[in-house]
Amino acid sequence: MFTLNYLVVGSGLFGATFAYEAAKRGNHVTVIEKRNHIAGNIYTKEIDGINVHMYGAHIFHTSMKNIWDYVNQFAEFNNYINSPVANYNGEMYNLPFNMNTFNKLWGVKTPAEAQQKIEEQKNELDFPEKPNNLEEQALSLAGTDIYEKLIKGYTEKQWGRSAKDLPSFIIRRLPFRFTYNNNYFNDRYQGIPIGGYTQIIEKMLSSDLVDVKLNTDFFAKKDEYLNAGYDKIIFTGMIDQFFNYQLGELEYRSLRFKTEEKDVDNYQGNAVVNYTDAETPYTRVIEHKHFEFGKGDKGKTIITHEYPQNWNRDKEPYYPVNNQKNKELYKQYVDLAKKEAGNVVFGGRLGQYRYYNMDQTIMAALQLVKQEFGE
Ligand code: FAD
Ligand code: UDP
């Protein structure tokens, strides 16, 4: 059989899914990873018997049955349902925005009462027909109180810019519903892999046809890799960095994670607590054991504070900032790639500059597999 030689840059979910499928078809894959571990941002590490999400809370959720079945080959998932709680200056509200939130805010008990309250607030505002930005979108969905207490502060510190300068799709990620239902997602399937996420990537990369090299940055030897005779290079790092930022920098948002052990069984009573005021410098506190219903050593818990920060070339680019300006610049990089990238294909959250959830990342990788192997 005719086999190909691939270089995959990045051992995150995109690169690993591609490597797994390529090796399954008898091809050879070298995976290089600049970090000292595999799995990219879904990396989990066991501390005190708790699977710690080292790069922020990761909850798998999807409505695509084929993707759910696909990921279940690599791990068994538990029945965790994400139900974060918001802390606004000490007032606690259920998320996403639902009847429990409205009841706590205004004392309303029925959907009609809640709708009326929101309508009253909206009537005091002036809107364009189609919201132009996140602020207009949030106000037109939820009214002033919810926007001021639960959205504005969180959003502006998360993204480091005014909610008027952000695309409206970001807030449409969250359900807004008039039922007493605290499930953060509307998707059909949801859970956390029992034993953590790293095992998924380990299994994906376990073939004898896959070589993984950690602590290896593509840019340390870019020309060597490009000229090493690989049939194809799958690049899951930043597309603007690949081209040496020659058309300008795309904008990213970075994060700082502060993880610590506490000598208590239960620190905050929930896996995720959001801090939605503007002054608290962190956006979320994660208590990892609650993703697996309290599993872990007695008397110990691990928590992580998530601090948003500006991105620069020395920081990790966790989120693409998909506003108009960056969309246009990204498109120019795609055009450049068509002309100059040769046998390099760009994939994943950074390579495609998209706010992909894990299921979308797997789907995009499987699309590339189809394209590559003509199936
Ligand atoms: P990454 O995981 O970023 O992997 C890219 C890899 O490439 C990294 O390991 C990186 O070190 C490596 N790399 C980059 N450049 C180079 C280079 N030059 N040389 C060598 N290696 C390189 N999704 C959900 O579905 N549910 C969630 O709850 C959820 N929560 C999230 C929370 C946070 C804080 C973040 C940041 C993301 C979250 N996501 C969530 C999204 C999820 O993390 C992504 O969909 C997924 O990890 C993307 O995989 P990837 O392979 O594209 O990217
Ligand atoms: N958001 C908010 N208040 C919250 C949680 C989220 O205003 O308590 C907004 C914020 O703009 C955020 C977006 O909703 O960036 C998407 O939230 P999600 O939880 O999906 O963000 P992620 O987990 O991707 O960081």
Q: Could you say which of 171, 201, 219 is where a domain stops?
A: 171
The residue assigned the tokens 């139900």 is 83
Instruction: Give CA–CA dist 172/366, Å, rounded.
Output: 26
Most informative mutation of 349, 354, 362, 367 for ligand 1 (most atoms within 8 A of CB): 349
Rounded distance from Cα 237 to ligand 1 centre (Å) = 9
Write out the residue range of the structural domain in which residue 328 sits: 5-78+189-248+321-373
Please tell me the total count of domains within the chain: 2
What is the position in ligand 1's atom list of the atom closest to the CA of 15?
A: 51
Per-residue pLDDT of the chain (375 residues; tens, 9 = 90+): 579 999 999 999 999 999 999 999 999 999 999 999 999 999 999 999 999 999 999 999 999 999 999 999 999 999 999 999 999 999 999 999 999 999 999 999 999 999 999 999 999 988 888 899 999 999 999 999 999 999 999 999 999 999 999 999 999 999 999 999 999 999 999 999 999 999 999 999 999 999 999 999 999 999 999 999 999 999 999 999 999 999 999 999 999 999 999 999 999 999 999 999 999 999 999 999 999 999 999 999 999 999 999 999 999 999 999 999 999 999 999 999 999 989 999 999 999 999 999 999 999 999 999 999 987
What is the position in ligand 1's atom list of the atom closest to the CA of 360?
A: 45
pTM beyond cutoff 0.95: yes
Look at residue 2 in the predicted model and tell me its pLDDT.
75
Is residue 341, in this structure, part of any structural domain at all?
A: yes
Residues with CB under 6 A from ligand 2: 86, 95, 150-151, 154-155, 158, 170-171, 173-174, 274, 276
Task: State whether 354 and 224 are in the same domain.
Answer: yes
289: exposed, middle or buried (Cβ count in 10 Å: 0-12, 13-18, 19+)? buried
Ligand 1 neighbourhood includes 75 CB (under 6 angstroms): no
Is residue 149, in this structure, part of any structural domain at all?
A: yes
Instruction: Give CA–CA dist 273/276, Å, rounded.
Output: 9
Task: State whether 123 and 236 are in the same domain.
Answer: no
Task: State whether 109 and 206 are in the same domain.
Answer: no
Task: State whether 25 and 74 are in the same domain.
Answer: yes
Is residue 106, in this structure, part of any structural domain at all?
A: yes
Look at residue 1 in the predicted model and tell me its pLDDT.
59
Task: State whether 20 and 68 are in the same domain.
Answer: yes
Task: State whether 208 and 331 are in the same domain.
Answer: yes
Distances (CA, A) of 125 to 118, 158, 170, 336: 11, 25, 21, 44
CATH number at residue 11: 3.40.50.720
Instruction: Give CA–CA dist 344/362, Å, rounded.
Output: 19
Ligand 1 neighbourhood includes 204 CB (under 6 angstroms): no
Is residue 283, in this structure, part of any structural domain at all?
A: no
What is the position in ligand 2's atom list of the atom closest to the CA of 150?
A: 3
Rounded distance from Cα 42 to ligand 1 centre (Å) = 6
What is the position in ligand 2's atom list of the atom closest to the CA of 155?
A: 11
Distance of alpha carbon 215 from the chain centroid: 23
